[in-house]
Amino acid sequence: MSGTASRRRFLQVTGGAALAAALAACSSDDKGNGRAADETSGQSGEKSGGTLAVASFLGGATESPDPLSTVYSSAMIMCLYDRLTSLTDSSGPKPELATSWSSDDLKTWTFKLRKGVKFHNGAELTAKDVIATFERILDPKAPGSAKTTWGPLIEPGSVVQGEDEYTVVFKLKAGAWDLPYLVSHTYTSIVPAGMTTDHIKAAPIGTGAYKYKSFKAGEKFTGDRNAGYWRENYPKPDEIVITNVDTTDQRLNGLRSKQFNIALNLDPVTTQPVLNSDDIVVHRTQTGAFTQLNMLCSGPLADSRVRQAMKLVVDREQIRQSLLRGWGIVAQDHPIAPDSPVFPKLPAISADIEQAKKLLAEAGHPNGLTIQLHMRQGTQGGNLAQLYQAQAAKAGITIKLVPEPGATMVQGILSQKFQMHAGQYGARPGVALIDVIYGKFGDLGKSYALWSNPKFDTLAPQARGEVDETKRKELYNELAELLAADGNLIVCCFEESVHVTQGVTGFQKTTMEAQPLWNVALSA
C-alpha cells in the first residue's frame, strides 16, 4: 500500500478519527533513518545529568526485567525496551520502532522498521529481532500470560520478514483491527534475536532510553543513560532509579520528602493534600484502567444468577464519589476502554437490592450467602473491597475480607485459589483486556476465573475481524452486553491515571498503564 489510495484503504479497514490521527503520524516526513528528533527536545528549564528517582510498584510476579513476566513493572520495561508503536494519548498508535504500518484485510499487516536503531550491545535492529520477539511470546516455556492475547492471532512462523530486513509482515490467523494497538504493549517489547529468558534475567538488552545496571526483585531497578538512543538528545538524566514502594500514600510521602521526583500510579484520595501545591504537579488522564471485583466461577459463583446478584448490589456512583472523589466515569461491567473507537454505549446499571435478593433465592440462597474476598490493604482494590462489603450486606451477602501480601496475590489469582478478589487492571491497548480476562488461560479451556460462554467464543473474534467500522461497533456493543449480563467481572468505574511529579520537566500523560519516561529530565 502506498499513495493516496492506500491511505484511504488504511482508514477504511482500521476505522475512526483516532486512527486518522495515527495515519497522519505514520505518513509524516520521518523517513525512518537514524535517530529521530522529538518535539519536546530542548524544553526550557530542563537540565542534563543527575539521577531520576521514581517510586512505583515492583512487586507481584515481577522476578526479572523480562517484558513477559513484569506484571506490575511497566515503567522499568519502558526504560529498557521499545515497541513497534506507542500510545501516549487517545488519538491512536504512533510510530516508535515501526515508522508505518498497513493492511487491506486486517489479517495481513506490514510494518516498516526504523533504520539505524541500535540495541544496547551495538547490534542494529532488523526484522529478525521482531520475528524472534513474537516467536518467544508463543514459546510454551516463556514466562507470563502474553500468549492469552497472541495465541489466537499468531502461530510459529506467522511473523516473517517482508521485502527487506526492515520490513515485517504479520500473517494473522484471524483479523484484528487493533493490531497496531497491540504491538504497543510492554509484552511486545523488542528483544534481540537469540535472547533467552536466562539471558534477560542476567543482563537484559533492549533499544530503550536506559541500559540495564541492576535489579533486585521487589526492591529496586537502576538503569544508566543510553548515549546512543535513537531519539535524538534523550534521555537527559545519567541514571534512573525505580524503587518499589507498595502503597500509594507511601509513594506520595516519599515524593513530598524529596526522596523521589516521580510517584507513579496514585489515586484521587491519596493526592488530595497536594492538589494545590506550588511545587508538586498532579497529572490526571482519563483511561481505560479500573479497579475490579473478580468472581471465580466455581461453587455458588458458577451460577450466573448469583453473579448477577453480586453486581446488582453495587451503587456505582457512590463508588465513584467515595473511592475516586468524583474523578473518572461510571462503567458497566465490561473492560472496553472509553477512549477506544469501539467503546460500547450501554445503559447505566443501577443498584437493585430487591432484584439481587430475588436472584439469590432463585439460585438456592434465600437467606443470602457468604463469600471470601481477597485484597491487598493500602490499595484501591482494598478500598473498593471495603465499600463493596457494606453495599453487599444490604442484600444478605456477607463479604469476608482476606488481606493478601502483594508477593502472593497474583499467584493466588492465577492458580484459582481465591473465591473472589479485588484488584486493578491498567489500561491495555485495543481490546486486549478482553483476551486477558475472558480468554482461555493455559490448559484450562476457560478463563483464569473459570468463566466460559459459547456465544463469547463466536462473537469476540467476529467483532475483532470485522472490516466495516459501523458493524464492528455494533458487535462490540453486543459483546459488552453479554459480559455485563453473564461475565465474572464487576467494573464500577473507568479511572483516571494519577501520577505526581516534583522537580522534573517533560513528563508525558498517557492513556495506557505503561508510563514512558524517556523524555523526563530534572529541572534546571
CA dihedral sign of residues 120, 126, 128, 131: positive
Question: Minimal CA–CA distance to 25: which of 109, 94, 110?
Answer: 94
Whether residue 495 is predicted with pLDDT greater than 70 in this model: the reply is yes
In angstroms, the CA 222 to CA 240 distance is: 6
For residue 56, list its beta bridge partners: 244
Of 45 and 505, the structure prediction assigns the larger pLDDT to 505
The CA angle 263-267-271, to the nearest 5 degrees, is: 70
Q: Three cell numbers at 259? A: 526522596
Contact (Cβ atoms closer than 8 angstroms) between residue 127 and residue 113:
yes
pTM of the model: 0.85
Residue 460, pLDDT score: 94
- What is the 8-class DSSP label of residue 303? S
Given the DSSP bridges, would you call strands 108-113 and 98-103 parallel, antiparallel or unpaired? antiparallel
Q: Which of 30-44, 57-71, 107-121, 283-297 has the lowest mean pLDDT?
A: 30-44
- Read off the pLDDT of residues 64-108 as tens digits, 9 standing for 90 and up: 888 887 656 788 999 999 999 998 777 789 999 999 999 999 999
The answer to whether position 516 is within a domain reads no
pLDDT category at 247 given cuts 50, 70, 90 is confident
Which strands make up the sheet holding 521-523, listed edge to edge? Answer: 46-47, 521-523, 504-505
The answer to whether position 234 is within a domain reads no
The answer to whether position 503 is within a domain reads no
In angstroms, the CA 22 to CA 189 distance is: 20
The mean of the pLDDT values for the chain is 88
Contact (Cβ atoms closer than 8 angstroms) between residue 25 and residue 180:
no
- The one-letter code for the residue type at 92 is G
The CA angle 191-192-195, to the nearest 5 degrees, is: 90
Mean pLDDT of 377-392: 93
In angstroms, the CA 210 to CA 228 distance is: 10
Our CA dihedral for 414, 363, 391, 336, rounded to 10 degrees, sits at 50
Residue 375, pLDDT score: 96
Question: Minimal CA–CA distance to 357: which of 317, 305, 400, 316?
Answer: 305
Q: Report the range out of 68-77, 443-452, 478-487 with the highest average pLDDT.
A: 478-487
Question: Who contacts 214 (Cβ-Cβ below 8 Å, separation ≥6)?
Answer: 220, 221, 222
Of 329 and 218, the structure prediction assigns the larger pLDDT to 329
Contact (Cβ atoms closer than 8 angstroms) between residue 451 and residue 417:
no
In angstroms, the CA 268 to CA 328 distance is: 10
pLDDT category at 353 given cuts 50, 70, 90 is very high
Mean pLDDT of 200-218: 94
Residue 70, pLDDT score: 65
Please state, for a pLDDT cut of 70, what percent of the chain lies above it.
90
Whether residue 475 is predicted with pLDDT greater than 50 in this model: the reply is yes
Q: For residue 235, is the peptide bond before it cis, meaning its omega torsion is within 30 degrees of 0?
A: yes
pLDDT category at 16 given cuts 50, 70, 90 is very low
Q: Three cell numbers at 376? A: 491487598
In angstroms, the CA 74 to CA 513 distance is: 7
The answer to whether position 195 is within a domain reads no
Please state, for a pLDDT cut of 90, what percent of the chain lies above it.
70
The answer to whether position 279 is within a domain reads no
In 324-481, the DSSP E strands lie at 329-330, 369-375, 397-403, 420-425
Instruction: Please give the helix or strand (H or E) that residue 86 lies within, else none.
Output: strand 85-86
The answer to whether position 367 is within a domain reads yes
The answer to whether position 308 is within a domain reads yes
Residue 11, pLDDT score: 34
Q: Looking at beta carbons, which pairs linking 111-115 to residues 24 or more positions away fall under 8 Å?
A: 111/84, 111/167, 111/168, 111/169, 111/170, 111/183, 112/32, 112/166, 112/167, 113/32, 113/166, 113/167, 113/168, 114/32, 114/33, 114/36, 114/166, 114/230, 115/32, 115/33, 115/34, 115/166
Q: At 306, which CATH number?
A: 3.10.105.10
Q: How many domains does the chain have?
A: 1
Its domain, for residue 441, covers 286-496
Secondary structure (H, E, C), 57-83: CCCCCCCCCCCCCCCCCHHHHHHHCCC
In angstroms, the CA 287 to CA 339 distance is: 7
Q: Which of 82-91, 163-172, 289-298 has the lowest mean pLDDT?
A: 82-91
Of 262 and 37, the structure prediction assigns the larger pLDDT to 262
| Distance between start and end Cα atoms, the chain | 46
Whether residue 497 is predicted with pLDDT greater than 50 in this model: the reply is yes
Grid coordinates 462489603 are at which residue?
Answer: 389
- Read off the pLDDT of residues 97-137 as tens digits, 9 standing for 90 and up: 999 999 999 999 999 999 999 999 999 999 999 999 999 99
The CA angle 421-424-426, to the nearest 5 degrees, is: 150
